[in-house]
Structure 1
Amino acid sequence: MYHITRNGGHFVSRLKQTANPTIVSVLRKYRGQAIDLAGKSLQDVLPHLKREVLDVLVEISFKRRSYKEKASLAKETYRLIGILDQGTNEYHLYLTSLSPEQISAEDVAILYGARWSVELIFKELKRIYQLDVINSGKDDVVESLVLVAMLALVVSHRVLNFMRRIVPEKGNRWTPMRWAEAF
């Protein structure tokens, strides 16, 4: 994350359940008798929160790589988003370098959810269209095989969506992966 931000990029990542960063400041104000969070550890205040959305800046400590057999500790400040799951009454926690001006807290959760769709597409491209095993070193051949696989994937998904619309009662039986195998 440190290198991503230092090189001008952004990230959205799920925060480990065991992580316990220190809250630096609150980015979203709450009405009523809100708990003051600044300076407290996340795990200390999380069980007491009832907010639907938690949007704060946190300080993360991490070890840098060893240099001359010495590892140093570093601290960075990132934005932490917590979205309360009404079913489980637990927070889904996301860490990001994106500011509130760039993306809302709710949209961070949606963006992270879209990540899984991308993972499934890569899995399908590797497993069904075998893009993980291209037996050529020629750039033109590799590019052609990648483009053909991507076109086949797009056509397969379009036909699947069409089939789901015309036969909705059977639509859930066809996962994209299962459909691609048959396609």
Structure 2
Amino acid sequence: MARQDDSVLVARLKQSLPAELIDEQAREVGALVRQRRVDVVALVWTLVFGWGAGASASLAALQRSYERHTRTKLSASSFHQRLKNPALLTLLRTLWAHASKTQPRRALGAFEQVLALDSSFLRLWRGLLDDWPSSNPGQAGARLQMVVNVSDFTPNAVILHDAIQNERQSWKTLGPWLRGALLLIDLGYYDYSFFVRVANHAGFFLSRARRDCALTVVEVSDPRERHLIGLKLKDALAQTRREQLELRVCGSYRRPDKKPRRFEFRALAHRHPDGDMRAWLTNAPTCRVALEDAPTLYALRWQVELMFKGMKSLGRLSAIPTSDETIMRVLILASLLFILCCGWLREHCFGAQKLWTSSALRTMCVVREMSELVLEHLIAPRRTDTSLSLDQLLLAQLARPSPCRPNAFSIPFVVEPLPLQVA
């Protein structure tokens, strides 16, 4: 019988993604026409937690994990057809939309949410080169962009596209999720029109200023630095001797077929230990982002970097030999659901007040190593009376997937083995 602490953790996962919801959504999208030998609930959980520690990065290993926990036997072609079904991809997208909304949003400081926007290149199997081209010759890859809530380590928005497309084109339209939130923006998204659109959605942003920033200084907080007014920001930072300095800068940008639009931002400058002066741009007032808090707040952006690191090292998407685009999208969505589940378990174990003292990346590593136990608790109660015994399952998985394929490793005995004699 499972221990009480184990059942509580598994209950947290089942509460966030209940079996009834998975079955209902599967029938709506056509992923489950009728209940046959494939349990769609067990299949979803296997996709999320099936890449256990030591398991090979292959679809065959994923199939064996499903068979091991459901005590059933499927042919390789049947399992692949399930993964290639576009309805399964639609189901995972629906579950992702539901799961990302179940996590309660907590205020962080003066903001309703603190979000980090960043992107990363995902190396994929070379068989996907036609569907997922990249700028590297002979290398297939995808560009994954995420908006991550740094307070609970959960993604708010995800965009997946080929690696050649420009990152900024994906965020031409923004939503109400920005209202009252602080968005930490990577330099790859440095664009004045993007900053203004964030402000127009009642949101706030914080971004590093480029070294060649040509915005004009119109106001300084220190009266002794009035001589900097009228200079470009890069020249003002080079002339000041202050350790910290707050400035007001202005500029303009021109949209296609429209008049130039003027804007004003705060520039929060800090001297780095190497002597270089660095600045951050924001539209947040002083009561929300103080001068001395800018570097610390912007450092929270590394939460999304940790998420990318865990997804690449634990998901091993580049090592999965598949040339089917739908299957790869299914596996990427399953990896994102795994990150969400790790966030739920991390919050349940440590509580909201101790999340900052526990490593999110360590949580992902530990959950991945214990994924076999997690799957056992999730799927074992769904077994039926017709489930295979352990001996039957072992014999079924030891058999060759294709009996017609010649086996190069089948070497006959040179000497006949002696019969076993029992005294």
CA distance change for structure 1 residues 62 and 148 in 2, over 3 Å: closer, same or farther?
same
Letter in 2 for 1:180: C
Letter in 1 for 2:307: F
> How far is the alpha carbon of 1:59 from its aligned partner?
0.3
> How far is the alpha carbon of 1:82 from its aligned partner?
0.8
Q: Indicate conservation of the 8 Å contact 1:153/1:180, yes or no.
A: no
1:41 to 2:232 alignment: yes
1:60 to 2:255 alignment: no
Q: Indicate conservation of the 8 Å contact 1:134/1:142, yes or no.
A: no
Aligned with 1:108 (options 277, 283, 294) = 294
Q: Indicate conservation of the 8 Å contact 1:85/1:91, yes or no.
A: yes
Aligned with 1:82 (options 247, 269, 275) = 269
Whole-angstrom distance in 2 between the partners of 1:55 and 1:16? 16
Deviations 1:158-178 (A, max 9, x none): 9xx88x9xxxxxxxxxxx47x
Q: 1:29 maps to what in 2?
A: 222
Q: How does 1:129-144 map to 2 (within 5 A)?
A: 130=315, 135=330
> How far is the alpha carbon of 1:125 from its aligned partner?
5.0
Structure (1 or 2) with the larger CA radius of gyration: 2
Gaps of 5+ in 2: 1-194, 318-327, 370-423
What SS class does the counterpart of residue 98 from structure 1 fall into? coil
What SS class does the counterpart of residue 76 from structure 1 fall into? strand
> How far is the alpha carbon of 1:127 from its aligned partner?
2.3
What SS class does the counterpart of residue 11 from structure 1 fall into? strand
User: Could you state the TM-score of these two structures normalised by the residue count of structure 1?
Assistant: 0.67
Q: Indicate conservation of the 8 Å contact 1:125/1:153, yes or no.
A: no
What SS class does the counterpart of residue 245 from structure 2 fall into? strand
Q: 2:341 maps to what in 1?
A: 148
Letter in 2 for 1:148: C
Whole-angstrom distance in 1 between the partners of 2:310 and 2:345? 10
Whole-angstrom distance in 1 between the partners of 2:205 and 2:241? 27
Q: 1:180 maps to what in 2?
A: 365
Q: Indicate conservation of the 8 Å contact 1:80/1:94, yes or no.
A: yes
> How far is the alpha carbon of 1:3 from its aligned partner?
0.5
- How high is the sequence identity, in percent, across the aligned residues? 18
Higher helix share: 2
Q: Indicate conservation of the 8 Å contact 2:269/2:277, yes or no.
A: yes
Q: Indicate conservation of the 8 Å contact 1:21/1:60, yes or no.
A: yes
Q: 1:167 maps to what in 2?
A: none
Letter in 1 for 2:249: V
1:97 to 2:283 alignment: yes
> How far is the alpha carbon of 1:110 from its aligned partner?
0.8
Gaps of 5+ in 1: 165-175
What SS class does the counterpart of residue 19 from structure 1 fall into? coil
Q: 1:123 maps to what in 2?
A: 308
Which has the higher relative contact order, 1 or 2, with Cα contacts under 8 A spaced 6 or more apart? 2
Whole-angstrom distance in 2 between the partners of 1:72 and 1:52? 38
1:16 to 2:202 alignment: no
> How far is the alpha carbon of 1:92 from its aligned partner?
1.5
CA distance change for structure 1 residues 34 and 122 in 2, over 3 Å: closer, same or farther?
same
Whole-angstrom distance in 1 between the partners of 2:312 and 2:335? 17
> How far is the alpha carbon of 1:114 from its aligned partner?
1.2
What SS class does the counterpart of residue 86 from structure 1 fall into? coil
Whole-angstrom distance in 2 between the partners of 1:114 and 1:146? 18
Whole-angstrom distance in 2 between the partners of 1:142 and 1:17? 36
Q: Indicate conservation of the 8 Å contact 2:222/2:245, yes or no.
A: no
